[in-house]
Structure 1
Amino acid sequence: MNKKVKAIPQNSKADASIEDVAQLAKVSGATVSRALRNLPNVSATTRARVLAAAVQLNYTVSPSASRLASGRMSTIGVVTPFVSRWFFAQVINGVEEVLQKAGFDLVLYIDEDGRTFQSLPMKRKVDGILMLTLPSDSPDVERVRNLGVPVGSLHVDIEGFSSVLIDDVGGSVIATNHLIGLGHRRIASVTLDQNSSIPFRTEHDRSKGYRRSLAAAGIKVDPRLIVNGESSVEGGMQAAAELLSLPDRPTAIFVQSDEMAMGVLHTIRRAGLRCPDDISVIGFDNHELSKVFDLTTVAQPAHDQGVLLAQHVLDQVRNGAQPQTTTLRTRLVVRGTTAPPSSPLE
């Protein structure tokens, strides 16, 4: 009695199965799976025969099946407090660029108070986590650690995690020293949001650098010259209005982000003052629009931070590498919003 042979559909992606490929290549289904996933213990001749059969049948491996077989989901979770602010958008863009090239998906979690996963646990399995600027004492840090997957931390050095850092203190010293070097003594600071539900280190460290620089120059800190800019253009506008209302207004302002600095410049010009003739302004970031505003600033490589953080965690996921820490440098970019005060040593 003749054995029935299943008719194999030709060039039909919808109908072809792994069993069809195995029958055409005269191997087992397990061998097909190993060959198509480029796993060991498959000879070059057999692998070539399997690939030829798969091409003939227009067969492609099911992504979900491949992920289950490998024990990985090819997905990285990104935990961020914001997505609309320029810095975070640049970082996420860098992360996505790396993950896309590596064939990984990105799952975004918005964590505005450091407690997102108390009420919304990660229900979707991920191979790694990237945390963007979450403080080390945030409740979500331990919840993420307990997932047992590689974790990367941006701007915060946490034991056991990969991290990408910048020297916020040093960058602020660079900015403030630039103003002091021009002859300014009455230097204000517009800070990132001091009332955020998450106590980010960035505001703390940039304020620390500002105070350290003034102290080194023998300049007493005037609390009236430190104003919360609420991490927004509108906040920068309001902070500048408050500073300009002082009877002895500052001759220079260090603004902890370029977005806030744009708001500061707007208010200065609306007040009929000239920058830098009447008041100098320096920002922090090197936002892509800082050139348009001719803004002197301290540059940080936001996009590159996302790239490096994603690369560090992918190296752990795919190669079993140990956590890595990279610190990137900031640099002064002098443009047209800073100059010596109109009256020396004012």
Structure 2
Amino acid sequence: MSDTPANVSLAAPPVAPAPGPITPVTGEKVRWGIIAPGHIAEKFAKAVTSLPDEAELVAVGSRSAERAADFAGRWGIPHSHGSYAELVARDDLDVVYVASPHNLHGEQAELAMRAGKHVLVEKPLSESLHSSRSIIETAADQGVFCMEAMWTRCNPLVMQARQLIADGALGDPRFMWCTFAFRFDGDDSHRLLDPELAGGAILDLGVYPMHAAHVLLGAPTGITAEGTEHPRTGVDATSVAHLTWDKPGGTTFGTLVSSIDARGDQRLSVFGTKGQLVLENFLAPLEMTFTPEGGEPQKFVTQDAGFLWQVQEVHRCLRAGKAESSAVPWQSSLDVAALLDQWRAGVGTGTVGR
């Protein structure tokens, strides 16, 4: 368990470069390529193939030609490559989804962008603020679209929650609570437990509560962190981040929990002076409950909780010639990257990024 000060003020993360316009994608369908056909890429492929009128999967690349071919066969993808360089060199791709482990995001996203491809980069954008900043600066330099694949920020219920708070429906927010926990019983070589692959609960799970806090309440002004390390590999196992927001209406407190060592849930609650809202499963919400002071609970629902909204957000931006998404702007990715660095450093499993 780490010993941390009672309060740590946050240094402002670097300001994201101003995105310029990009050449809009005008083809009948947005043409996708996939880097790293693993578990998360399966979910992504399912979302893209559910939109046959607006998108198509053209090619997949892996370090293993056999693995790429197997993935392509299962999803009806016409082309597969045993090299990422071969994939991004194709002239029939508009955008590449980077689905590799965290520590490879920077290398592979920049490979694609320097080949003139737009990118959707799996969360977290990278394993550190330093690398995340490099990805975004490359996008600005190359004049391409880039978005962190924080699909929960694109969910209509999360956007509605943000609007309720911004409109004052909860009054002045006083406290938020957000957890993402499950017990992982896999082998030590799994990426979740491997420090060389930027493993641990914070980067894989904690990024979701941190983005949720950021999208609903903005960048916090203070953070402290504590937690436990995995007894065998040393990655963070269970950890808590305590956030503060100092605003004209008063101070808001937040508690975020991430764990790969406890059977838990994915619940988000925000409590204010005039009401509260709850998403029982903020990770993939289909329902949200808002209860105003002295009133009856109000239910809000959506029809899809998966990657669909994220894919469509990318399509919307590419068609409109926008280099960044308003749902997941570059500055939010830098803000969260800085917070994750601070969280990991507080637990003792990372260093504060430059």
Q: TM-score range by the shorter chain?
A: 0.3 to 0.5
Greater helix share, structure number:
1
Return the index of the structure with the highest Cα Rg: 1
Q: Select the structure that is richer in strand.
A: 2
